[in-house]
Amino acid sequence: MTMRLHNLKPRPGAKHRRTRLGVGDRSGKGGTSGRGGKGQTARAGGTVRLGFEGGQMPLYRRIPKRGFNHEAFRRRFVTVNVKQLNVFEDGAVVTAEALRERGVVRQLRDGLKVLGDGELIKKLTVKAHQFSATAQEKITKAGGQCEALPLPHRPVAAAASK
């Protein structure tokens, strides 16, 4: 017998009967139909938002907000793997602007970091702000050079506004 659309069936035990709610006390789902007691959550369409405590001051507002967060001052690097550098010609100088022109990266952030995933088959001079150890090893092994650029200075006011 060949398999056709009209004779496909689910495996035995794969389909279950729908649980019938409110069909008597002895069914296990009678009375309140598994919704608990009375109130907003027992009604159709009745839900409360996440963290709502019935009008009581919620926990996330009771806890004091203190301390310092470094997120506003964190440097955000654009990362590029070594295998993505193979789009350049042999002997080319790879910079963040050159990567953007080639479409390897969309936007330039606070710096460029080169990571070591993949293989490099071209001899390139790579200018970036940071290199992983494996990326540096693979670039020099292919006959290229790694030039570490200084990180750009960011004023504190500009960092806080991001």
CATH number at residue 127: 3.100.10.10
Q: Is residue 32, in this structure, part of any structural domain at all?
A: no
- Whether 92 is in a domain gets the answer yes
- Average pLDDT along the chain: 91
Q: What span, in angstroms and rounded, lies between the C-alpha atoms of 91 and 24?
A: 81
Query: Does pLDDT of 148 surpass 60?
Result: yes
- Average confidence (pLDDT) over 91-97: 95
Mean pLDDT of 90-107: 94
Q: What is the 3-state secondary structure (H, E, C) of 70-139?
A: HHHHCCCEEEEEHHHHHHCCCCCEECHHHHHHHCCCCCCCCEEEEECCCCCCCCCEEEECEECHHHHHHH
Q: Model pTM?
A: 0.57
In a domain, 41, yes or no: no
Lowest mean pLDDT among 50-64, 104-118, 141-155: 141-155
pLDDT number for residue 158? 55
Residue 153's pLDDT is what? 77
Q: Domain of 122?
A: 76-151
Assess if residue 146 is contained within a domain: yes
Look at the chain and report how many structural domains it folds into. Answer: 1
